[in-house]
Structure 1
């Protein structure tokens, strides 16, 4: 368990630093294109890695944890939402997948607003 946590932590460090560097290299304007790009890229990378693991092309559990949970999780957690929603839709549960995406986005925005309000109070 501790070894797994170390691998996740190393990947998370790398993903977080990458996210920070992307933000520095591509400052955002009025619309958060950098964040959107990071989220889309993270979703693509996590989907690719998940497929490689499923096909047996990545067999090392520590490498999988480092890349999928650590790197992608540190870079963006939106990638996990995307992968889960894609899985639901791929299983024919399209309405549930779309509800998951919409619910996560709406509730996430509302939670951020509430958090901002609490912090301002």
Structure 2
């Protein structure tokens, strides 16, 4: 454990902590909601021990598509409360999409002797996630342009 900060440094740290406390709180609450939604998806659509991790793949693709739409809306279409982006973008969608489960699923596929599917999964997931962000953001921009015309 680190020693306590000297009084002069501790005094300076408090305003920074206080200024970011609401952001940390909304990210934590949103992250919990997103992680609960991801877990619900895994209960609704479980992956067999020796099966391809379709749930994680689709959760990550769906979450990235929502991130694409959300960022277009939050940055270009509407003025939003300053805590909306950290709550929904970082918290909910960050908790919903999951690199850790993606990595564990890849390891499990390799460990189960499914090297080919593991490589496909490890390559397809980030490519599909990036494509989902791009396609969803492009579609959202297009819809906004038509609505503004």
> What TM-score range do you get, normalising by the shorter chain?
0.5 to 0.7
Name segments (4+ residues, structure 1) moved above 4 Å. Answer: none
**1:55 pairs with 2:76:** yes
1:17–1:3 Cα change, 3 Å: same
Count the aligned residue pairs: 85
For 2:34 and 2:79, locate their aligned partners in 1 and report how far apart those are by CA, in whole Å.
Answer: 19
**1:2 pairs with 2:21:** yes
For 1:62 and 1:27, locate their aligned partners in 2 and report how far apart those are by CA, in whole Å.
Answer: 33
Query: What are the equivalent positions in structure 2 for 1:36-75 lying under 5 Å apart?
Result: 36-75=57-96
- The TM-score, its normalising length taken from structure 2, stands at 0.51
- The TM-score, its normalising length taken from structure 1, stands at 0.62
CA RMSD of aligned residues (A): 2.4
**1:82 pairs with 2:130:** yes
Query: Offset of 1:12 from its aligned partner?
Result: 0.2
Which ranges of structure 1 fall in alignment gaps of 5 or more residues?
91-121
1:58–1:19 Cα change, 3 Å: farther
Which ranges of structure 2 fall in alignment gaps of 5 or more residues?
1-19, 100-128, 139-149
Look up the match of 1:117.
none
